[in-house]
Amino acid sequence: MDARSYKLSEIAEKIDGDVDGDGEIAIRGVAGLREAEPGDISFLAHPHYENLLTTTRASAVIVSRSLETKVPIVRVDDPYLGLVKVLSVFYPTGPVPVPKGIHELAVIDPSAVIAEDVSVGPFCQVGPGVSIGRGSKLTFSVYVGEKTTIGEDCYLYPNVTVRERCEIGSRVMLHAGCVIGSDGFGYTREKEIARKIPQIGTVRIEDDVEIGACSAIDRATLGVTRVGKGSKLDNLVQVGHNVTIGENNLIAGQTGIGGSTEIGDGVIMGGQAGVRGHLSIGDGAQVGAKTGVWGTVRAGDKVFGFPARELRLATRIHGALARLPDMLSRVRVLEKKLAELEKGGSIDSSAADNS
Amino acid sequence: MDARSYKLSEIAEKIDGDVDGDGEIAIRGVAGLREAEPGDISFLAHPHYENLLTTTRASAVIVSRSLETKVPIVRVDDPYLGLVKVLSVFYPTGPVPVPKGIHELAVIDPSAVIAEDVSVGPFCQVGPGVSIGRGSKLTFSVYVGEKTTIGEDCYLYPNVTVRERCEIGSRVMLHAGCVIGSDGFGYTREKEIARKIPQIGTVRIEDDVEIGACSAIDRATLGVTRVGKGSKLDNLVQVGHNVTIGENNLIAGQTGIGGSTEIGDGVIMGGQAGVRGHLSIGDGAQVGAKTGVWGTVRAGDKVFGFPARELRLATRIHGALARLPDMLSRVRVLEKKLAELEKGGSIDSSAADNS
Amino acid sequence: MDARSYKLSEIAEKIDGDVDGDGEIAIRGVAGLREAEPGDISFLAHPHYENLLTTTRASAVIVSRSLETKVPIVRVDDPYLGLVKVLSVFYPTGPVPVPKGIHELAVIDPSAVIAEDVSVGPFCQVGPGVSIGRGSKLTFSVYVGEKTTIGEDCYLYPNVTVRERCEIGSRVMLHAGCVIGSDGFGYTREKEIARKIPQIGTVRIEDDVEIGACSAIDRATLGVTRVGKGSKLDNLVQVGHNVTIGENNLIAGQTGIGGSTEIGDGVIMGGQAGVRGHLSIGDGAQVGAKTGVWGTVRAGDKVFGFPARELRLATRIHGALARLPDMLSRVRVLEKKLAELEKGGSIDSSAADNS
């Protein structure tokens, strides 16, 4: 952490914002609205927390351009982006540094090619034929299987497994406990017995990808399972064999993607979503949390529910369901009344029941 | 395991129960109703298994006060609690002991402060500025990042990762493969590219918490992600950044909690439940298994389904759904009949169809 | 990989297939339809990819007996099974070999009994009283707790945890990061405080089972949690305490099985399915992806949805739901028209509304 302080006006300039209030205020750190002390700058990105503006002890707050408030503020187009920038002012280091070089309790195959400025922490193993690019860091108990390649400036957190023959791009972050290149779930039944289909393929993780803690990316049966450039996968995500995930996707926690499914670019998926195998999801589509995708999703579509439907229809159905039990009674009443009419008699207005 | 035996009456006394039958019977161990041999005491807590009372070979069974049966029994208020107590009579040791001291193949930073009676097993790493309280055990390949504090009598199972600057209370159990302090899933989009929001905050796990195998608790963006005293989280649970989980919660396997959500005390959540971010769930609320919570849940409420509704309404809707396809036909019939009436003609009673 | 080539007719013979085209073609490898180069044989098992037959560069393709096409093909009963067989021709080795013997950076208790031809890689720990059968491989950072037994020819991938007193059969594959024998999630409440029920039981994994990456199999409270012979569990699967899983089951990723549930033989479960505790699922049943099972499933039944229903009913309900919002309007119209009739007046055909 950086002990120096900045004027609020200096910070505004660094984050492309405009000060509304006293630009001379000294700012020494960044904190959430609840935790902030005088001297801290905070941020408000979600309207749910707007009321905290009246109680925060922060000396200034980063807000969107449209917000009305009286605390000293820096107005920016995107408060989250403002936060990213102000954090890089105060906390420029990124992940915890790992000592350069190879720890004496790491096991490195002599045929591995390890570039300059690489860190390999204790209890890691680097297999035969592996190559690791400049500046990459293997923190602790990381396994890299034979012939796998890792690009530059990657950061592999503790207890990560990258199996054989995978390709990891540059600036990739693999969070603790994740597994890259596990066998795909492929069997064929011969007389009731599941016979394993050998999983001979591989995994390609492109540049600037993050894979969350305890997530698993299966290798392809043949060919490659791909996670495209800039895509971010959260914790406990499961990606089946031969899946293709395009670029700049955001896939939230506990989501599962069935084998051979193809996902375009710029797709957003909520937590606990599931996509069946052998489907395609178009560019820019949005899949709601907990949604179960059962068929093709076209580019730009928003789907929700289980099984997934177009978002507006899903919302209408959800609203209608609350009235479904009563509707059953109302249909029964209608039937009784109509039966009365059929008989030519008068309608008995007490015909309603609740059964 | 303890080789001595106890009279049934002695056991009843230890677990605040009353013997119904021969108190002189010798009891040498504890086992399930199916596996029990003569000399074992077993227990019946769930009515589903009541029929096993007639076939079990157990010499005695712990049951609730209300149960009618003829086998020798010990009546208690809560058979599960009786089981806990009787297990502590026969198996007093708790988790597998780990040799005291620091294994020669562990890597401990010289600045770490390690209390007496701490065990650090092989292939563990303890980072700079870490403190570990008296009696805590790191079993195998456990990583503790810099400046993290661990209280007394904790038990960290194999392959656990606790990242930097987290606070772990006392008597905390972290099950195998779980990850504490992984980065929150926070990005902001700048021209289609997801830009990472640095996750500068931390995680606080309070006293007497358990975190299940392969679960992940994300660190806060700023501030702290909290798991309150006495809360128990099962396996493969995902807790997002800045979440607050109160005290004495029970959260079953594969549940996910979205970022910044606040959960009260004494909440129970079934398996595979999901809670959206930025919500609040009140004290004593119950969230059903597989339920997807989309809005605030008030204290004491029981919710179920996806999206979640109040339990009774959810149950009524579920029942009504089975009749929905037929109801469509019935409405169609009503419409036809009424159309006939509109025309002034007689009602054709064959108007019903099944389409 | 094997550098020799085979005639297409030779391959057909090895996989019990019939050549349709030139049997003299030389085949040197196996690849997916998209990635194949001349000299490769590929396969088509899923009709979704039939159009790739016109663009593939593969020299031959394994297809089902019924398919019509003009590329050189080998017709077999089951293309997946054909693929298994042809892969074993070209890639006979199976998983990456691990050097025989015990790595100098492994920690083996002197009381462990380790058979011939066992491999124990770096940073593994084998506890007191463990036995490991001939040909089994512990790759990297694998923990085997005291008194656990492992059969012959097992393969334990990196960062696997097998806790104390578990039984692992022969030819079992435990994928990276999985946990066998974690504590069951068992508590009883005493004055609002959750008191842990000690989990004294164990886990038995029978022959020819696979457990996926980052999956967790809890030990029984008392007795045993069982995964039966030949069953295959995918990644991120959670199995609760005292569950019984029969033989030859296929359980896809992120599925969860609640405590004490009993699952028969030959059951298939889709991804993200969930089964409540204390239930039974009969032989040969099929549980759809994302399905939430709330009650008994009989042998051979197919269930789907949340909560689960018989598949055909679930499908009908799903179809009917799309028309539910409109049906509400139609019922309202019927009620208005009928009210008009009750009054004895004429029916106002503009009574329809959309509210």
Does A255 have pLDDT greater than 50?
yes
B276 in reach of chain A (CB within 8 A)? yes
Report the half-sphere exposure of C253 (CA within 13 A, side-chain side): 31
B323 in reach of chain A (CB within 8 A)? yes
Contacts of B34 in chain C (CB under 8 A): 223
* Mean pLDDT, rounded, for C44-55: 84
Which residues are bridge partners to A238 per DSSP? A216, A256
Contact C163, C180 (CB under 8 A): yes
Contact B287, B270 (CB under 8 A): yes
- Select from B103, B157, B183 the residue whose CB has the most chain A CBs within 10 Å, as the one to mutate to test that interface: B183
C83 in reach of chain A (CB within 8 A)? yes
> Quick one: which of A193, A235, A233 has its CA closest to A213?
A235
Which residues are bridge partners to B217 per DSSP? B180, B239
Sign of the Cα torsion A90, A92, A95, A96 reads: negative
Res. C178 pLDDT band, cuts 50 70 90: very high
> What is the model's pLDDT at position B93?
60
Report the half-sphere exposure of C22 (CA within 13 A, side-chain side): 6
> What is the model's pLDDT at position C92?
63
Report the half-sphere exposure of A149 (CA within 13 A, side-chain side): 10
| Identity of the residue in C88, C214, C290 whose CB atom sits nearest the CB atom of A306 | C290
Residues within 8 A of B (CB atoms), C 124-143 only: 125, 141, 143
Report d(CA C220, CA A253) in Å as an integer. Answer: 28
Contact C237, B253 (CB under 8 A): no
Give the SS3 label for residue B232.
strand
Residues within 8 A of C (CB atoms), B 153-212 only: 157-159, 173, 175-177, 210, 212
- From residue C188, how far is each of B248, B250, B255, C218, C238 by CA, in Å? 11, 10, 20, 18, 21
> What is the model's pLDDT at position B355?
36
Q: DSSP class of residue B175?
A: -
Contact C214, A179 (CB under 8 A): yes
Which residues are bridge partners to A113 per DSSP? A131
> Dihedral of the CA atoms C88, C93, C94, C96 (nearest 10)?
-150
How many residues are recorded in chain B?
A: 355
> Quick one: which of A290, A112, C142 has its CA closest to B177?
C142
Contacts of A198 in chain C (CB under 8 A): 84, 87-88, 91, 94
Report d(CA C200, CA B328) in Å as an integer. Answer: 54
* Mean pLDDT, rounded, for C72-97: 78
* Mean pLDDT, rounded, for C23-42: 88
Rg, Å, chain B Cα set: 28
Apex A143 CA angle, A138 and A149, nearest 5: 75
Does A115 have pLDDT greater than 70?
yes
> What is the model's pLDDT at position B90?
75
Token readout for C272 is 């993200």
Contact A196, A181 (CB under 8 A): no
User: Which parts of chain B have pLDDT scores under 50?
Assistant: 1-2, 347-355
Which residues are bridge partners to B75 per DSSP? B18, B63
Tell me the nearest-neighbour CA distance from B234 into chain A, angstroms. 14
Contacts of C307 in chain B (CB under 8 A): 318
Question: Is residue A34 exposed (0-12), middle (13-18) or buried (19+ Cβ within 10 Å)?
Answer: middle
Contact A227, A206 (CB under 8 A): yes
What is the interface pTM, i.e. ipTM, of the complex? 0.89
B296: how many CB neighbours lie within 10 A of its CB? 12
Contacts of C96 in chain A (CB under 8 A): 127, 145-146, 163-164
Which residues are bridge partners to A126 per DSSP? A108, A144
> What is the model's pLDDT at position A92?
64
Token readout for A151 is 């690009």
> Quick one: which of B179, B286, B161, B175 has its CA closest to C184?
B175
Does C283 have pLDDT greater than 90?
yes
B290: how many CB neighbours lie within 10 A of its CB? 30
Q: For the domain B101-312, what is the CATH code?
A: 2.160.10.10
* Mean pLDDT, rounded, for C285-313: 97
Contacts of A190 in chain C (CB under 8 A): 78, 81
- Span A90-103, pLDDT tens digits: 776 667 888 889 99
Please report all neighbours of B, defined by 3+ CB atom pairs within 8 A.
Answer: A, C
How does the average pLDDT of chain C come out, rounded?
90
Distance between first and last Cα of chain A: 68
Domain A6-90: CATH superfamily is MurE/MurF, N-terminal domain (3.40.1390.10)
The structural domains of chain A, with segments of one domain joined by +, span 6-90, 101-312, 325-354
Sign of the Cα torsion A275, A280, A283, A285 reads: negative
Query: Residue A215 and residue C214: Cβ atoms within 8 Å?
Result: yes
> Quick one: which of A324, C149, C53 has its CA closest to B316?
A324
A23: how many CB neighbours lie within 10 A of its CB? 17
Q: What is the pTM (predicted TM-score) of this model?
A: 0.91
Task: Give strand ranges (E) for B140-251.
Answer: 143-144, 149-150, 155-156, 161-162, 167-168, 173-174, 179-182, 187-190, 193-196, 202-205, 210-211, 216-218, 224-227, 232-233, 238-239, 244-245, 250-251
- Span A36-47, pLDDT tens digits: 889 888 888 887
Question: Is residue A5 exposed (0-12), middle (13-18) or buried (19+ Cβ within 10 Å)?
Answer: middle
Residues within 8 A of C (CB atoms), B 33-72 only: 34-35, 42, 46, 48
How many residues are recorded in chain C?
A: 355
